[in-house]
Amino acid sequence: MPVNSEQKEYDICPVCSSQIKMWRVKNVGNENYKLDLCESCGYSFVNPRPSLSFLKHYYTLFGHGHDLIGKEAPNLTSILADEHNYPNSTLDAVRLIKTIKVLANNVCNNRFLDVGCGYGFFSKEALDAGFEVIALELAENERKIAKEMTGLNPAACSFEDFECAPESLSVVFMSQILEHALDINLWIKKSHDCLVNDGILAIALPNYGSIFRIIMQENDPYICPPAHLNFFTPNSLSRLLEKHGFKVEVVQWVSRIPKRTFEKRLPQFGKPLLRIANAVSSALLKIVDTLHLGMMINVYGRKCAHSGH
């Protein structure tokens, strides 16, 4: 990613304004990315930042599946087949939308914004739950699949460019997207402005405080600039939401290793052990989540009616 005049470098933490220090330098392709860390709140981030024009171009081409770069583009049939064989997004969608539905039960309207809707699993679940869904997605192929899956017509629009009337949404939903955001304060403040009083901001993203990241350090697969720019712990994400007038209502830790992980690694004579391996890994991951060291975090914030923002 070429350095250009649009890049910005922070000298204090964007979340809590504390001092930051260099954590690692991550080499990706031919580029080196400096990762800084706030020792106060635990937020880590790519610093300096890429330009917004670079990010819009990047996601328009590749979407949020940076691991799909160079591979054949998926279609609705292949996405649904993969999800049927190895359920992931459907499981997350049921849990997240169910939690949102409970938290937003008394909110005055049912307008639901899905920021970076991807293939549409979460938008579909929200529609099924009775929400009026607005979906945004920069990537053309993901928009096409989401339209086929949901019947919606996702807008080819970044959250930065999205326009809506103040206090007109009941839910702003960000699944696996805030880690991509250039200006995290802009995103959370804008969410607050768009939401009605008591409205819900729900965020799902990789946990920088997970046991896997602690062990693997910068080699964790979710530390992947320039696709991912922001690395949150539950504490740093909660502080960001509270800074902009949200009260954190619920935090969930979620870990899941695809069953195909063991299928690929076990030799043929070990295939009978596959069920045992999956059962053991599932039990261990539940323990990891109970200890709040899980791979993913889901954080739900409520807009405070008298926050002054």
DSSP per-residue codes, 157-208: --TTT----TT-EEEEEEES-GGG-S-HHHHHHHHHHHEEEEEEEEEEEEBT
273 within a domain of the structure (yes/no): no
Q: What was the pLDDT predicted at 264?
A: 59
Q: What would the DSSP string read from start to end of 122-143?
A: HHHHHHHTT-EEEEE---HHHH
Q: What was the pLDDT predicted at 33?
A: 96
309 within a domain of the structure (yes/no): no
59 within a domain of the structure (yes/no): yes
pLDDT tens digits, 169-195 = 999 999 999 999 999 999 999 999 999
285 within a domain of the structure (yes/no): no
CATH code of the domain containing 118: 3.40.50.150
Give me the residues of the chain with pLDDT under 50, please. 1-5, 66-67, 308-309
The contacts of residue 170 (CB under 8 Å, 6+ apart) are 104, 107, 108, 109, 110, 111, 112, 131, 195, 196, 199, 200
Length, in residues, of the chain: 309
Helices and strands (H, E) in the chain, number of each type: 10, 10
8 within a domain of the structure (yes/no): no
Spatial separation of the C-alpha atoms in residues 204 and 96, rounded to whole Å: 9
99 within a domain of the structure (yes/no): yes
Q: What was the pLDDT predicted at 4?
A: 44
Q: What was the pLDDT predicted at 95?
A: 98
Residue 142 one-letter amino acid: E
Q: Looking at the 3D structure of the chain, how many domains does it have? A: 1
**Mean model confidence pLDDT for the chain:** 91
Q: What was the pLDDT predicted at 3?
A: 41
pLDDT tens digits, 51-78 = 888 888 887 776 655 445 556 789 999 9
Structure tokens at 135: 């979906």
Q: 38, 49, 33, 34: which is closest to 15 by C-alpha?
A: 38
Q: What was the pLDDT predicted at 69?
A: 53
Q: CB of 168 within 8 A of CB of 196? A: yes
278 within a domain of the structure (yes/no): no
The whole-model pTM stands at 0.92
For residue 52, the enclosing domain spans 20-255+294-303
155 within a domain of the structure (yes/no): yes
